[in-house]
Amino acid sequence: MREKYFPKEIEAKWQQHWADNHTFEVKPDDSRQKFYCLEMLPYPSGRIHMGHVRNYSIGDALAWYKRMRGFNVLHPMGWDAFGLPAENAAIDNNAQPETWTLNNIDHMRAQLKKMGIGYDWTREIASCLPDYYKWNQWFFIKMFERGLLYKKRSLVNWCPECNTVLANEQAEGGVCWRHTSTAVIQKELDQWFIRLTNYAQELLDGTYELEGGWPERVLTMQRDWIGRSEGARVNFKVKDSDAVITIFTTRIDTIYGANAIVLAPEHILIETLMEDSPLHDKVIEFATRLKNEDKIERTSADAKKEGIYTGRVAINPFNGAKLPIWIANFILMEYGTGAIMSVPGHDQRDFDFSTEYGLPIQQVIAPLDENGEPAVFGEMKEAFTGSGVLVNSAEWDGLPWPIANEKMTAFALSQKFGEGTVHYRIRDWGISRQRYWGTPIPIVYCDHCGIMTVPEDQLPVELPKNVVITGKGGSPLAQVPEFVNTTCLKCNRPARRETDTMDTFVDSSWYYFRYCDPKNDKAPFDKSKTDYWLPVDQYIGGIEHAVLHLIYTRFWSKMMRDLGLCDFNEPIHRLLTQGMVCMYADKVGRVVKMSKSLGNVIDPDDMISAFGADTTRLFALFAAPPEKDLDWNEKGVEGGFRFLARAYRLVWKWHAQMPQAKQTAAQSSELTPAQRKLQRKTHQTIKRITENFEDRMHFNTMISALMELVNEAYDFDTQLGDKAPCGTTVAIMREALESLALMLAPFAPHAAEEMWEGLGHQGGILSGALWPTFDADLARDDELEIPVQVNGKLRSRVRVSADVDEESLKQAAFADEKVKAATAGKEVVKIIVVPKKLINIVVKG
């Protein structure tokens, strides 16, 4: 230990120590409880940013704590290394995506090591390497064999910036998830889809299993995304035709109020219906125009309702009413059946549509008035969507909503013109990407034998190198004859390979399984290893993956479970979604997320050079609780540095006496008040921090508790002056400083190690399970200052012994001058005593 706190020197020293001692490298060990601490793996964009620093500081704090509590902690790191930026860099810099990516990984790995994050680097993975993506292909084949994958020509989201297709989850709100200012357009393409919808119900049910462990916000977003709705399908016969139109509704109880059947412009029955119709050309022209309109605009909530009457009529199976068949812009082909019954009285969209075209509006649901009678409105000004009972609905009149729905659905089933059904909003996951830098899809097309998967023993289908990437004109792999041309695996005649690559979200769906067995070349992983480590105990990452990665990976593990590769339903027990790192930006005049384009970026490297990794990490944890956005403030960083230097100086001042100190302090009754005070603070701090790690993980308050302990220890030290300390004093100080060093380790591990060593300990903090324990008796206050209220207002405080009984406390309160003054001449109505907290005297007059 040196006199002054030199983070650079200390950090290099301990990083070397951890590497030499393989401190963070772990193996399954049945004798110890495991803890899997995982941070979302980064995309190797080139440099670490503050968001990463925050993410990994949180994860490492927890990992250190758990290790110190004796857990066998798996804390790995890897790279989500496929993806578009590598291709763009290749175009811009004339580099190969692989070279660019691997160089970035090298640089970022070095940065993470400089931060001293405790990863088991022997388990590092990079998804762009064949020994990883081989298993993506293996999973593809398994899913193909089980019918979980299919190829379909369909309208898909296309991002003109990415020049590729996007999954629905990646095109939320009609914009690309990477290019949020770029509207996604619709294209018709052949695509590989994973049957995410097979697991829709299970994914929904799982969100209830995850309650408590996952933020409610994320669960809500996932539930909304899955979008389960219960309803019914009802068949409407078309008059003078054999055609039947099936509609989906969640409100079959309102069917007597239907005034039309409305179809999406893409509906397949339109052509049939319009055959021989004098309106044929007009209607088809209308539908074609809508189909060609921008989908996002056409289907946005504020688009004007627009429709056309087809001249055809459908029959309401409940009452035989003749309903005109319309086509309208607001009906979506991909939801339900692409056809609805319009019920203007009880659906605002139908109301607006009917008003626009003068269709009749009838009320069929009536709220109950104060006499319990159904209230029938005169003219309706808007749709009534509240609850009530049926009216104008023949024999169903008087039934309340949920019962009517049930009974009418049952009736439809019995009459064979409808049935109850559940509909989900979530769609299958389109994974084809018309890009180069991704996992090749292991499929071969033969003109004679059709579509076939590449046999397992021929995996991986390697991504060819030195491919010319222009960013234009379809899949780059299609331009590589050596890759495309192959022979049919069945008939040996010339055949072609699939030239699309997989969505990179495939890579990240199972990477944390691979960390458990990263070098396995026989299987994606050995189940005995994942059985030990998984599920993940704590996952930490940004909220932006709430419906992307976090839904895909839940699906993936359910699929793996069905393949017999794991035994659990949910792969991630607890999830922490950390807030963004923000800073004031001149360009917008307020505190916003750090971004290069706004110029409000701090480079972690600069921070580390100026203050050290410990200070940088400490501040990232101290400035705000982890799930909140964090305001980066350089002055605040200095405060973090001062705290570490202050703690360090105190340890320096005392470290020489430590080897001679008594191991345990005297009985607390024999301590001076000052000694007792520091001892109490030490034990209180251990209690606070330990409990906080176990439930709330608010690192900011844990660090402030450590600051308080340091302040208290300084006061103690200052009071001693130049007097030579007695053995008890040294023992009390030793306990305080050792506790401090140990509890600092999760937040500032290098400085903590240096202090721990300075206090006379060899081998490093993690050579044992050293998390300090507190003694509840020693943490307890001997004396308390109890606030005294009169009529709820604070009037005074009284000092009493901690074990005071109610009666003496009351006496002490009434003995107080200020309390006397406030209660003088008044009748005491009531005295409320909250043990150890407060006394409130209620007076009258």
Partner RNA sequence: GCGAAAGUGGCGAAAUUGGUAUACGCACCAGACUUAGGAUCUGGCGGGGAAACCCGUGGGGGUUCGAGUCCCCCCUUUCGCACCA
Residues in region 542-571 near RNA by CB under 7 A: 543, 547
Q: Which of 20, 695, 777, 807 binds RNA (CB under 7 A)?
A: 695
- Supply the DSSP symbol for 360: -
The length of the chain, given as a count of residues:
845
- ω into 535 cis (within 30 of 0): yes
Minimum gap (Å) between residue 604 Cβ and RNA: 18
**Alpha-helix runs per DSSP H in 656-775:** 673-695, 699-720, 727-744, 749-758
Q: Which of 32, 696, 799, 820 binds RNA (CB under 7 A)?
A: 696
Q: How far is the CB of 795 from RNA (least distance, A)?
A: 7
Range 401-440, binding RNA (CB under 7 A): 423, 425
Using alpha carbons, select from 63, 419, 377 the residue that is nearest to residue 231: 419
Identify which of residues 126 and 252 has a Cβ nearer to RNA in the complex: 252
For the segment 160-189, give every residue that binds RNA (CB under 7 A).
172-173
Nearest-approach distance from CB 469 to RNA, in angstroms: 31
Buried b (16+ CB within 10 A) or exposed e, 130-156: eebbbbbbbbbbbbbeeebbeeeebeb
- Min. distance of Cβ 659 from RNA in angstroms? 25
Indicate the DSSP class of residue 164: E
Work out how close the CB of 629 gets to RNA at its nearest, in angstroms, rounded to a whole number: 6
Within 795-824, the residues that bind RNA by CB under 7 A are: 795, 797, 818, 821
Q: How far is the CB of 252 from RNA (least distance, A)?
A: 8
In the complex, minimum distance from the CB of residue 77 to RNA, in angstroms, rounded to a whole number: 27
- Minimum distance of RNA from residue 511's CB (angstroms): 24
- Stretch of residues binding RNA (CB under 7 A), selected from 115-123, 219-227, 373-381, 801-809: 219-227
- List all residues 6 or more positions away from 792 whose beta carbon is below 8 Å from its beta carbon: 840
CA 111 to chain CA centroid, nearest Å: 25
Q: How far is the CB of 312 from RNA (least distance, A)?
A: 19
Structure token pair of residue 782: 């001997």
Shortest distance, position 108 Cβ to RNA, whole Å: 26
Among 161, 266, 352, 397, binds RNA (CB under 7 A): 352
Tell which positions 292-321 bind RNA, by CB under 7 A: 298-301, 303-305
**155 contacts RNA (rule: CB under 7 A):** no
Among 574, 700, 728, 778, binds RNA (CB under 7 A): 700
Q: Which of residues 751-790 bind RNA (CB under 7 A)?
A: 785, 787, 789
Q: Which helix (H) or strand (E) holds 87?
A: helix 84-93
For the segment 617-636, give every residue that binds RNA (CB under 7 A): 622-625, 628-631, 633, 635-636
Shortest Cβ 840–RNA spacing (Å): 4
Which of 422/523 has CB closer to RNA?
Answer: 422
Nearer to RNA, 178 or 698 (CB): 698
The mark string for 80-99 relative to RNA (x by CB under 7 A, - otherwise) is: --------------------
By beta-carbon proximity to RNA, the closer residue of 136 and 789 is: 789
C-beta closer to RNA: residue 223 or 496:
223
SS3 at position 253: helix
What is the smallest separation between the CB atom of 299 and RNA, expressed in angstroms?
A: 5
Query: In the set 197, 479, 704, 728, which binds RNA (CB under 7 A)?
Result: 704
Q: What sign results for the dihedral spanned by CA atoms 420, 422, 425, 431?
A: negative
Q: Which of 255, 259, 271, 248 is nearest to 331 (CA)?
A: 248
CA 118, 509, 629, 69 torsion-angle sign: negative
**Which listed residue (217, 239, 587, 653) binds RNA by CB under 7 A?**
217
Task: Decide if 563 contacts 598 (C-beta within 8 A).
Answer: no
Choices 47-55, 103-111, 244-252, 723-731 (CB under 7 A): range interacting with RNA: 244-252
Q: Is 229 in the site for RNA (CB under 7 A)?
A: yes
User: Nearer to RNA by C-beta: 333 or 478?
Assistant: 333
Among the listed residues 76, 336, 430, 476, the single contact to RNA using CB under 7 A:
336
Query: Using CB under 7 A, which residues numbered 716 to 735 contact RNA?
Result: 718
For RNA, the closer CB: 669 or 718: 718
220 scored as a contact of RNA (CB under 7 A) = yes
Q: Which part of the chain contacts RNA (CB under 7 A), choosing from 120-128, 331-339, 525-533, 735-743?
A: 331-339
User: What's the closest the beta carbon of residue 753 comes to RNA, in angstroms?
Assistant: 22
Specify the residue, 40 or 340, whose C-beta has the smaller distance to RNA. 340
Selected binder of RNA within 231, 257, 317, 772 (CB under 7 A): 231
Q: Which range in 13-21, 157-165, 213-221, 459-467 contacts RNA by CB under 7 A?
A: 213-221
| 3-class secondary structure, 485 | strand
Cα Rg of the chain, angstroms? 34
Among 335, 445, 532, 814, binds RNA (CB under 7 A): 335
8 Å CB contact between 185 and 158: yes
Element (H, E) at 138: helix 130-145
Query: Per CB under 7 A, which region of 404-412, 616-624, 731-739, 741-749 contacts RNA?
Result: 616-624
Provide, rounded to whole angstroms, the least separation between the CB of residue 253 and RNA: 11
837-840: long-range contacts, CB 8 A cutoff, minimum separation 24: 837/786, 838/786, 838/787, 838/788, 838/789, 839/786, 839/787, 839/788, 839/789, 839/809, 839/810, 839/813, 840/788, 840/789, 840/790, 840/791, 840/792
Non-local CB neighbours of 246 within 8 Å, separated by 6+ positions? 233, 234, 235, 236, 337, 339
Whichever of 61 and 108 has its CB closer to RNA, that residue is 61
330 binds RNA (CB under 7 A): yes
**CB atoms inside a 10 Å sphere around CB 729:** 22
Nearest CA-CA partner of 259 in 330, 353, 331, 367: 353
Per rule CB under 7 A, count of chain residues that contact RNA: 92
SS3 for 410-434 is: HHHHHCCCEEEEEECCCCCEECEEC
Q: Using DSSP, state whether 456 is helix, strand or coil.
A: helix
Cβ closer to RNA: 123 or 795?
Answer: 795
DSSP assignments along 638-676, one per residue? HHHHHHHHHHHHHHHHHHTTGGGS-SSPPPGGGS-HHHH
**Residue 560 or residue 809: which is nearer to RNA going by CB?**
809
Q: Which of 59, 118, 317, 338 binds RNA (CB under 7 A)?
A: 338
DSSP assignment of 574-636 equals -EEEEPPEEEEETTTTEEEE--GGGT----HHHHHHHH-HHHHHHHHHHSS-TTS-EE--HHH
SS3 label, residue 191: strand
Task: Give the integer Cα–Cα distance in Å for 79 and 435.
Answer: 19
In the block, residue with structure tokens 């998390």: 771
Residues 634-693 that bind RNA (CB under 7 A): 635-636, 638-640, 642-643, 645-646, 649, 688, 691-692
Beta bridge partner(s), residue 541: 577
- Nearer to RNA among residue 486 and residue 692 (C-beta): 692
Site for RNA in 257-296 (CB under 7 A): 264
Kindly state whether residue 379 participates in binding RNA, applying the rule CB under 7 A: no
User: CA 23 to CA 15: how far, in whole Å?
Assistant: 10
The residue (of 324 and 471) whose beta carbon lies closer to RNA is: 324
Contact region with RNA (CB under 7 A), list: 430-438, 439-447, 495-503, 792-800: 792-800
The β-bridge relationship of strands 34-39 and 72-74 is: parallel
Among 106, 190, 224, 603, binds RNA (CB under 7 A): 224
